[in-house]
Amino acid sequence: MEELEGINQFMTKEYLESPFIRRLIIRNTFVIIETYLYVTKEIIKIKIENSGDSLDWQKLALLNEKRVDINRKGQIETKDQFHSFIPSLRFTLNLFAEVFDAESPDYSTHQFEKLIKQSKRRNQITHPKAKEDLLVSMDEIMENTDVLQWFMTTHSKINQKFQEWIKIIYKE
C-alpha cells in the first residue's frame, strides 16, 4: 500500500497531461505486479524446500518457468519457458494460496476484468502497431489505479499467511 501512496505525486494534473507519463504509469504498474509475482514464486520455492512439502512435477516446472526436452543425442535439455501474463498471474497467486493454506484469489471482480484489459493495453503501448496505440486516456489511468489496488489487496491477503509462517520459522 505504501507503493500506491508513492504514485500520488504522479497523479497531479501537470503530470497526467503528459502522454509519456500516462504510458509510463501503465507500464510501471505491470513492472510492480511482475516483480511481486517473481518474488512470490521464489517464496513458494523456499517454503517447499524448508517445510518438507512437495509439489507435483508439473507445478514445479511451471514455477521454475522451465521446459524439459530431449535433444538428438537423447540427452535432457532444459529451456526457459515464459507464459502469458494473466495465466501466469493466476497460477502464481493460486499456488501461493495453496502452499500457504490461504483463501484463493477472487477473479470474478470488475477490478480483475480491468486487469485483463489493462494487460492488453500495456502490450499495445509496449509494442504499438499504430500511433493511436500510444495514446492513453484519463479513464485508462483511473482503471490502472483499480488494477493495482486489486493486485496489492489480493496479494496482501495471501501474504498474511506467509508472514504467519515466517514468524514460526524464526521462532524455531
Q: pLDDT for 78-101, tens place per residue? A: 999 889 999 999 999 999 999 999
Q: In terms of pLDDT, which residue wins out, 35 or 18?
A: 35
What is the C-alpha to C-alpha distance for residues 103 and 167, in angstroms, rounded to an integer? 19
What pLDDT, on the 0 to 100 scale, is given for residue 11?
65
* Residues whose CB falls within 8 Å of the CB of residue 1, separated by 6 or more in sequence, listed in order: 152, 156
Cell 512435477, residue located: 57
pTM of the predicted protein model: 0.85
**The C-alpha cell that represents 135 in the structure block:** 495514446
